[in-house]
Amino acid sequence: MNDYAHIGRSVQRREGRAKLTGAALFTDDFKIEGLLHGATVRSRVPRGRITGIHFEEGFPWDEFVIVTARDIPGKNVVAHLIQDQPCLADGVINHPEEAIMLLAHPDPQRVQDARERVRVDVEPLPPVLSIDESLRCDPVIWGEDNIFKTIHITKGDPDGAEAQGHLRMDATYLTGAQEHVYIEPNAIIAEATAEGVLVRGSMQCPYYVHHALHEMFQLPLEKVRVAQVETGGGFGGKEDFPSMLACHAALLSWKAGGRPVKIAYDREEDMACTTKRHPSRTRIRSAFATDGTLLALDVELLLDGGAYTTLSPVVLSRAAIHASGPYRCPNLRVQARALATNTPPHGAFRGFGAPQSLFAIERHMDEAARRLGLDPAELRRKNLLRTGDVMATGQIMRDEVDLIALMDRALTEIRYAEKRDSYPTLNASDDPVKRGVGFSVFMHGGGFTGSAETMLNSVAALEGTEDGRVRVLAASTEMGQGANTVFTQVAAEALQAPVDLIMVVPPDTSLVPNSGPTVASRTTQVVGKLVLDAGLAMRKTLLDAGLLLDGDVAGAIRTYVARHGALRTESRYQKPDFMEWDDTTYRGDAYATYSWACYAVDLRVDLVTYETQVADFVAVQEVGRALNPTLAAGQIEGGVAQGIGWGLNEEVIWRGGSMANHQMSNYLIATAVDLPRIRVFFEERPFAYGPGGAKGLGELPMDGPAPAILNAVQHALQIAPRQVPMTPEVLMDLVEGA
């Protein structure tokens, strides 16, 4: 039963009415006097040296603002974890679509026309366009060995245990890139002078952009201001890339004497030049006892990072930690590497490395069950983690979760046992449409890995106003996932106040403290807890002042502000007492908690067209307490839809390091007619360190659909697909090869 007034209830989305009526303003909606429109001149080769730049004669170039690397007042760098990515190419090109020059003009069509009249002469250099080419180091394009990051995780004696296995398997799994396809392409407006820089736009992480602008302009921090406006989706694609775009728009404004400049990509440019999900190759060697007990895992995980480091090291980190899945394994080794190639840099995407490694281990477990003659559910029942078990990094599993019960509920809802027994008989007929049922069991760590949350040192605050209302101050951005609504519910709960009393201030670095980026399933679990604690502190302040005796929160705030002035309470992140982590050895508590799930699929495969259609989808998850059940279910449904697309349709076609199919007409995402009914179920086990018991939620549903689908295809066709997306062409080759 719900013993809260606001938490656990489906409060109406706070920004919903403004978005439905069109009152909400996105970046491209702003009308600004004197606005210039920016455009980018880009490389068309994967690697080379710039030998000359030519402007078409007879064109009125004096009407345009033109920026090259020479115009950058500070560092020519887009500040990331490692500062290796230039804001503008200066002599050397490392990927197609690399920004070389910026143009601006009052007429948006005129500036697009102008960039086609710039010719860049390039002396080509041999490119590196695949993981294998990168490993060969011929040529070396980054550092000494093309490796951005290497991670080793070891437990027990995997070599000795493997030798004792009844079943020893060795298999390789491939995952492709994926485009975010957020509703609103990237867009930024900038105003920049020596007196200060103001950037407004569509973004996930205002303080990331703030840091990048500070590094490039070398201005004092207080002279850089970044404000998020309404953002039409992100999924990780607006985590780090807006730093690049903000630097470009601000440079044009700087050169134009402070005139405002807007750069708003169209869909084709956005798809061509922005980050994608990292392609991966995972080789798993395993050993199982006769009864199916998992004895050893040896995992080699390789990520294609693209031309620059960006976020590859932390994507690799999560991928490596999740590589052994939700299984007890006394002997394991994980070697994970992120590699440089001459493609546009890959970056954050919902799931952040976990979908790649969980796809591999979940497919591997189904293949092992088939070879052992076991039902995949029986194999998992024997090996799933239980409370008190030791995980891959040595972390003790403290979550009170029953993974077997979670799995059983999903299998019951999909009618797994009945269909697993009956479908082989149906499939033996001449009907070209074959049926299959499959599932995956998985988890996702909430918040940043290891000690990163402590290093981030996040802060959130609440302020009381003269009219008796409460302002929530946090850098977490609303991008459609419901952050504003959940923060409102949490603050109202802490203060025991009506939700209409709460206002969430749009993130603006001049107004809100740095509560960290809106990533890593941390918004509710981590920042929501800060909001809760700040609310509890404000309520205590009012009680200590002798107010709130009648329960009138608004009246108490008005009285306090009138008597004492400012009413502001803050909360700073404190790690749970049990958490210990060693960044060097990758040992300890990787995450404070995990969300857990089992996803089950019933599907049809047409052996005439080789199309795969998901007929029914069941998603059962344990995410602590669902603070807003409607929004939580929406997050699951959206993530499942994205996962189905990654598993079946969304193929990025690379040619010479470029995305060749960068249009919505030939990059195929799942539409409403392609998707099944997605049945969502929550098993609630409140997490002691989350607000109202909540855990991270947003990334979890990306992890499970692809392996569940391919496991069901294995059941339907008795083949072993190991690659996503499993397009009709891929499936046809696999079936005909078998």
Predicted confidence (pLDDT) per residue in 255-308, tens digit: 999 999 999 999 999 999 999 999 999 999 999 999 999 999 999 999 999 999
Distant-in-sequence, close-in-space partners of 574: CB < 8 Å, separation ≥ 6? none
Distant-in-sequence, close-in-space partners of 121: CB < 8 Å, separation ≥ 6? 50, 51, 52, 53, 54
Which residue bears the tokens 């046809």?
Answer: 732
Per-residue pLDDT reduced to its tens digit, 213-268: 999 999 999 999 999 999 999 999 999 999 999 999 999 999 999 999 999 999 99
Which residue bears the tokens 């409102």?
Answer: 488
- Alpha-carbon distance of 147 to 137, in angstroms, equals 10
Say if CB 287 and CB 162 are below 8 A apart: yes
Closest by Cα among 141, 164, 167, 127 to 43: 127
Q: What is the mean pLDDT of residues 362-372?
A: 98
Q: What is the mean pLDDT of residues 665-678?
A: 95
717 has a pLDDT exceeding 60: yes
Which residue bears the tokens 């689908």?
Answer: 709
Report the DSSP beta bridge partners of residue 303. Answer: 280, 338
SS3 131: helix
SS3 624: strand
Radius of gyration of the CA atoms of the chain, in A:
26
Give whole-number Cα distances, 438 to 161, 418, 724, in Å. 29, 12, 16
Where would I find the beta strands (DSSP E) of 156-268?
167-175, 187-193, 196-201, 224-228, 261-264
CB-side neighbour CA atoms (13 Å) of 117: 15
pLDDT of residue 1: 43
560 has a pLDDT exceeding 90: yes
Mean pLDDT of the chain: 97
Burial class (CB in 10 A: 0-12, 13-18, 19+), 514: middle
Rounded to the nearest 5 degrees, what angle is found at the Cα of 13, between the Cα atoms of 10 and 14? 130
Q: What is the mean pLDDT of residues 95-113?
A: 98
Rounded to the nearest 5 degrees, what angle is found at the Cα of 525, between the Cα atoms of 522 and 528? 100
Per-residue pLDDT reduced to its tens digit, 601-635: 999 999 999 999 999 999 999 999 999 999 999 99
Q: The pTM is what?
A: 0.97
**Using 50, 70 and 90 to split pLDDT, how confident is the model at 489?**
very high
The structure tokens listed for 335 are 């070697």
Give the helix/strand (H/E) hosting 483.
helix 483-495
**Using 50, 70 and 90 to split pLDDT, how confident is the model at 3?**
confident
Q: In the chain, pLDDT over 90 holds for what percent of residues?
A: 99
Where would I find the beta strands (DSSP E) of 222-349?
224-228, 261-264, 280-288, 294-306, 331-340
Please give the domain boundaries of the chain with CATH numbers for all domains: 16-24+452-572 (3.30.365.10), 33-125+187-264 (3.90.1170.50), 280-449+585-737 (3.30.365.10)
pLDDT of residue 2: 63
SS3 49: strand
The structure tokens listed for 702 are 């990306």
Dihedral over alpha carbons 516, 521, 524, 526 (to 10 degrees) = -50
Closest by Cα among 738, 626, 692 to 9: 626
567 has a pLDDT exceeding 90: yes
Closest by Cα among 456, 368, 385, 433 to 622: 385
- Alpha-carbon distance of 341 to 280, in angstroms, equals 13
SS3 289: coil
